[in-house]
Structure 1
Amino acid sequence: MSEQSAVGQVVGPLEVGPVAHGGHWVARWEGRVIFVRHTLPGELVRVRITDDTHARFWRGDAVEVITPAADRITPQCPISGPGGCGGCDFQHVSPAGQRELKRTVVAEQLQRLASLDWDGEVEEVPLPGPGADGVAADADDGVGDVPAWRTRMRYFADTQGNWGLRAHRSHTVVPLPDQGCAIAAVPAPDPGTGAVADVVVDGFGDQHLIMDAEPMGSGADLVQIAGGIEFEVPVDGFWQVHPRAADVLAGAVLDGLEPRAGEQGFDLYCGVGLFAAALAGECVRMWGVESGRAAVRCARRNVPGARFTAGQVGKVLHGLPKRTDLIVLDPPRQGAGKDVIRQVLARRPRAIAYVACDPAALARDLGTAREAGWEVVELRAFDLFPMTHHVECVAILAQR
């Protein structure tokens, strides 16, 4: 093989294989795997190589579609394709096709990493209608059928001071089109305001601007709403960015756990107490654990009848009661890991709810639980990140 870089070279035509976790598809060229973005299974495409630094695979963009798939549509955002913004992986795919791709990825990860067969669907989550709490369904900024669901956006200034978004796997800033970001419920601030800006919508529909010059934790807390409850959230803290996500996920957790009055439970990686509040509303005595001290400060105000501890979940668990009835886990993208899962299982809860934003991490942790004699009795997946490859899952476990 030549030592000359292949980046920029266009190869093909290539026949595209299955979707892979991460927003790309598998293709092969001269025996080498290429992970290709902006294509679909079964398409015949030409591919521009974007990364050849890995010995086992390369990365590329489909820059010419010779034979399109039935689910291919015309992207409504002019910067969503090759060389553009890295945010929307699936804008070239019909909405039903997007959900099928995500279903395929979830099922493949569960089978491969947890030996678990799953035949469920990825559930559509429409935006709230006009007059409902949150962002109105018609707030699409004039870009047609693309749902403007992102209630928190991070914008970056280009060399001319105009706002843009970063390209895929790059710090390069791609300037926003005239109509703005298609999936954003919040517009960019005025040009020349700064180098980085976060814009977030609170539970009342008000927009808040956080500039890069402001130190983390310096702003006032925001108020978000879920289940009719007002939650204080640090201005730079975590809250689900789809306006219906908090309600949908809390509802799935309650439906799966079927809490009983007088039970006790743990809310691990609890953030500002969303699931603790939902279960406390069913008369469950809750104890939350979260590493972020600002989030714990808010959680104590959000759920005054619950107990909260700030610290790493794996360490704090050693000091928590050795038995409990219910446990909710909502770990970061990398998952909870074997140590935390084993500590959770050792409590012998009646039921466990695992909320996951990454199907591979979820599958690894479910595999650990299944090896220890636990059963996945329900698993639901939700399309809370339209136009992207991301998918949210809620798994319910019980001991066999």
Structure 2
Amino acid sequence: MHQPSPRLTVTVGPVAHGGHCVARHEGRVIFVRHALPGETVEIVLTEQGGDAKFWRADVTNVLVASPDRVEHFWPEADALRAGARNVAPVGGAEFGHIARHAQLELKTAVVREQLVRLGGLGDEEVTALFARGVEDVDAHGTPEQRAGLRWRTRVGFAVTSAGRLGMHAHRSNTIVPIKDMPLAVPAINELALWELDFTGIERVEVAAPANGSGVLVLLAPQGQASEKAAGAAIKRVARALAALDTPPSVGRWNPENHAVDVITGRGWVRESTDDHEFRVSGDGFWQIHRNAPKVLTDAALGFLLAGGYVDDGAEVADLYAGAGLFTAALADAVGPDGSVLSVEGSPNASRDARKNLHAASQVTIAQGRVEAVLGVKSHGPRARRSAAAPRPSFDAVVLDPPRAGAGKDVVRAIIAGNPQAVAYVACDPAAFARDVKYFSNAGWHIAGLRGFDLYPHTHHVETVALLVPNGLKG
């Protein structure tokens, strides 16, 4: 529930990274969600404080609307309907009030701004690199898909105190009960999980591969529950799921150590691309948009192949490799005479990669921190090479770090391997821009850049860049 904080009227300024726009009130910066640039809106403060550098707010009423404002497709996530009831909207669809073309324009503006402000690039350079802007990947789907719906193959849910399925409000412990998840692929909604009693369960994770190979439901019992109570809750929900016309696999899940105890079916899902199949365990990482594996592989490998950086016999690396999506494509590209070092920190994901790539003799799977595998012994400004681990060298690298980015140590270690190109796959524009600055300081530049709207109706955006040493055009 919103606290009864003052409702203010503000004129909204430009979009900013993070899913909000910037407004000002009596000199105070306010990050406003569910707004559009140029609008005049009434807002309710969700985070405030006299000594805070900025405040946060949700829109509750629109006085002067942008022509790009549309009716939100999801009532539970609609800030205007939620504000009228003095409740918080569910998170995860903060751009749902914005026309699809305008979402692309705003995301393009955010990527540009981050590259200029944090990456140190000039406006003209960014304009030339990013002329296409953020691209729509759903243009040829079904009508619902073209509208930016039914794309999520993985969804995490919370559970209300009454045992009903829900999702969190933004930056809040408040859980909003839901009766639909319009962004999820049909196989997830067909489970109708909102009709079940999840009393005793704290979190529910659902994975439904786009290839239709079977759904996996992971249940995390409440942490304070006794083993007897937790077991009873798991069994009750598993029985309800087993009664469905197409029952999913069910596992008991420990979010802290990522352990999955199979209750029914199997504790992993089968993902696929045009050329490969992948086992992905439990809560293991896989791109969540149904088109993302192909879109990102085509973009990253496309840059490397077109530039001649990867060919038969090349020595390459896939860093933060997960279950091996890019590793498999690289193995095909370099052939049996080449080599691929596939590095992943998660033990579960690394085991998946070994299973997925066991037949590719040119692939070496290394489980551990990227810094350690590449020969960096310590972290921070004094990072240095480990004498016990000679630093490998590569012709090219695919770099797909987590949301926080690669960081200075990893960038330094990559450059020390003397690659001629890095295909950087980024899910956060700010982290990406900071890493671009690290590469730039070491004498590298962006030679190619694409952006993809793989998270419609949210502020998130995926970018793929080709980075090369200065002197090479890409």
Same fold (TM over 0.5): yes
**Does the CA contact (< 8 Å) of 1:323 and 1:349 recur in 2?**
yes
Percent of pairs identical after alignment? Answer: 41
In 2: Cα distance, 1:339 partner to 1:326 partner: 18
Q: CA deviation at 1:226?
A: 1.7
Aligned ranges 1:138-177 → 2 under 5 Å: 145-177=147-179
Consecutive aligned runs of 4 or more in structure 1 exceeding 6 Å deviation: none
After superposition, what is the alpha-carbon deviation per residue over 1:116-169, rounded to whole angstroms, capped at 9, x for unaligned?
24232101111775xxxxxxx4677xxx94411111111222122221111010
In 1: Cα distance, 2:99 partner to 2:44 partner: 24
**Does the CA contact (< 8 Å) of 1:383 and 1:391 recur in 2?**
yes
Match of 2:237 in 1: none
Of 21, 24, 29, 1:28 maps to: 24
Unaligned runs of 5+ in 2: 80-87, 222-251, 376-388
The 10-residue stretch of structure 1 (194-203 or 298-307) with the greater mean CA deviation from structure 2: 194-203
Q: CA deviation at 1:27?
A: 0.3
After superposition, what is the alpha-carbon deviation per residue over 1:59-82, rounded to whole angstroms, capped at 9, x for unaligned?
011111111111110101111122
After superposition, what is the alpha-carbon deviation per residue over 1:161-220, rounded to whole angstroms, capped at 9, x for unaligned?
22111101012111114xx01211212524213332111112531222111132333242
Aligned ranges 1:180-219 → 2 under 5 Å: 180-185=180-185, 186-187=188-189, 188-189=192-193, 190-193=195-198, 194-205=201-212, 206-213=214-221, 214=252, 215=254, 216-218=258-260, 219=262
Alignment of 1:122 with 2:147, yes or no, is no
After superposition, what is the alpha-carbon deviation per residue over 1:258-314, rounded to whole angstroms, capped at 9, x for unaligned?
121100111111101111111111124101111111111111121232101111111
- Aligned AA (2:118): L
**Does the CA contact (< 8 Å) of 2:46 and 2:58 recur in 1?**
yes
Please identify which structure carries the higher helix content. Answer: 2
After superposition, what is the alpha-carbon deviation per residue over 1:342-381, rounded to whole angstroms, capped at 9, x for unaligned?
1101111111011110000000001010111111000111
Of 100, 104, 107, 1:99 maps to: 104
Match of 2:366 in 1: 309
**Does the CA contact (< 8 Å) of 2:216 and 2:268 recur in 1?**
no
- Aligned AA (1:252): A
Secondary structure of 1:46's aligned partner: strand
**Does the CA contact (< 8 Å) of 1:217 and 1:234 recur in 2?**
no
Secondary structure of 1:19's aligned partner: strand
**Does the CA contact (< 8 Å) of 1:6 and 1:52 recur in 2?**
no
Secondary structure of 1:252's aligned partner: helix
Q: CA deviation at 1:229?
A: 0.6
State the superposition RMSD in angstroms: 1.9
- Aligned AA (1:200): A
- Aligned AA (2:47): D
Alignment of 1:274 with 2:325, yes or no, is yes
Match of 1:66 in 2: 63
Q: Quick one: structure 1 residues 146 and 350, their matched pair in 2 at CA, closer, same or farther if it must change by over 3 Å? A: closer
Aligned ranges 1:5-44 → 2 under 5 Å: 8-12=5-9, 14-44=10-40
The 10-residue stretch of structure 1 (294-303 or 378-387) with the greater mean CA deviation from structure 2: 294-303
Match of 2:384 in 1: none
Unaligned runs of 5+ in 1: 130-136
**Does the CA contact (< 8 Å) of 1:151 and 1:201 recur in 2?**
yes
**Does the CA contact (< 8 Å) of 2:207 and 2:269 recur in 1?**
no
Q: CA deviation at 1:94?
A: 0.3
Q: Quick one: structure 1 residues 211 and 6, their matched pair in 2 at CA, closer, same or farther if it must change by over 3 Å? A: closer
The 10-residue stretch of structure 1 (252-261 or 202-211) with the greater mean CA deviation from structure 2: 202-211
In 1: Cα distance, 2:345 partner to 2:390 partner: 15
Q: How many residues are aligned here?
A: 383
